[in-house]
Amino acid sequence: MEKVTERFLRYIKTDTQSDPKSGRHPSTPSQLKFSKELAMELEKTGLQNVTVDDKAYVMATLPSNIDKKVPVLGLIAHVDTSSDFSGKDINPQFHHNYDGGDIVLNEKDNIVLSPAVFPEMLKYTGQTLITTDGTTLLGADDKAGLAEIVTAMEYLVEHPEISHGEIRLGFTPDEEIGEGADFFDVEKFGADFAYTLDGDELGVIEYENFNAAMLKVTIKGQMVHPGYAKNKMKNSALVAHKFISMLPAFDIPEKTEGYEGFFHLMEINGSVEKTEMQFIIRDHNRELFEKRKKLVEGIVAQLNLEYGENTVVIDMKDQYYNMLEKIEPVKHIIDIARDAMLVSDVKPLIKAIRGGTDGARLSYMGLPCPNLFAGGLNFHGRFEFIPEKSMVKAVEVILKIVEKVSKM
């Protein structure tokens, strides 16, 4: 417990937020700096073939110590944290023997982590919870996954009597902005299958995720003095309002759950002359996903008919697809993870991701890659926390997966 916790606390000291607007790879220089430090740590730990490229991808190998050929196992996590909330100067707080009540994160600003709002906290009564101080995110997404993988590898290096096949590690940048697999070399990685350690609560196994698209909407208006604007002014902000009103009112993140998809307005900036909006489009069902995109195209056509050609211009790009299609033919890798959890006294919780992981794209690139829990909850905000025991259990599960793969 001390090793994985110490490693996690060390990792979150470095601010590695990705930046969706930078246009660089990696999107922030801090990710490359962190990746280089991580590579040095892996070499000191005893891993081999450690590489870090100029785009901040880290790869390393723990060679097989058995004399038979078994599948090459991959373990993957990402180095960046979300840009949704500050990741600078994280000040973690420890709450030992959690009693099931409210946790005051920041007394000055009256920021409280409460089971009345986050009932999942009650699953971890009696345990040590690591929280933020209410001013930053925590970084468990995904530095907990990083810490768990490296700690498990360190344990195997220190215990050569434990049999294992070849294990490949891959640590990626820019997962949080949907670019984590952009420059991932699957052939170089050389694993037969892999797991991302990027899930949330204890026991999670995920091999279904959203189909995802990014949508940028640009609306061109026409400014005229408001006193003389009749039949002349075209207010782009009002056209934007109409665009939003033509989307299904209840298909938004705050009113959906489970397998329900949505349109999410992430950002809007505008004036009479010009308004820009950023949306993400999500649905687990591929057919419904395509219908959502067709709906957007229909709205654009209707508004351009009403307000004039090229008033509304869109840039809509697919980001990733539901990995279920690629995992079903190799469903035994789900069985391996589930059985590893059961022998580690962890109850498997199989659910669909209301989001995506590097594993979704990697699965379509030829590397089947379901997602396992890293242990954190309430990612991307001030209320993020992680039970210390969940990190320990993640290390145990990794070791059990390694053991089971060595017997294939």
CA 137/CA 302 separation, integer angstroms? 41
Q: CA 90, 96, 101: angle at the middle one, nearest 5?
A: 95
Q: Rounded distance, CA 194 to CA 77, Å? A: 11
H or E element that contains 141 = helix 140-158
Pairing of strands 385-387, 129-131: antiparallel
Catalytic residue among 174, 175, 179, 358: 175
CA–CA distance, 319 with 303 (Å, rounded to integer) = 26
Could you tell me which of 154, 164, 183, 145 has the C-alpha nearest to residue 53?
183
What number of other Cβ atoms are within 10 A of residue 155's Cβ?
17
Active-site pick, 80, 206, 283, 358: 80
- In angstroms, the CA 297 to CA 114 distance is 42
Q: Which residue has the tokens 């009564």?
A: 125
The whole-angstrom distance between residue 32's C-alpha and the CA centroid of its chain comes to: 18
Q: Residues near 123 by Cβ (< 8 Å), separated by ≥ 6?
A: 201, 202
Please check whether residue 349 is in contact with residue 390, taking contact to mean a CB–CB distance below 8 angstroms.
Answer: no
Q: In angstroms, rounded to a whole number, what is the distance separating the alpha carbons of residues 370 and 88?
A: 30
Among this protein's residues, is 175 annotated catalytic? yes
Which positions are catalytic?
Answer: 80, 175
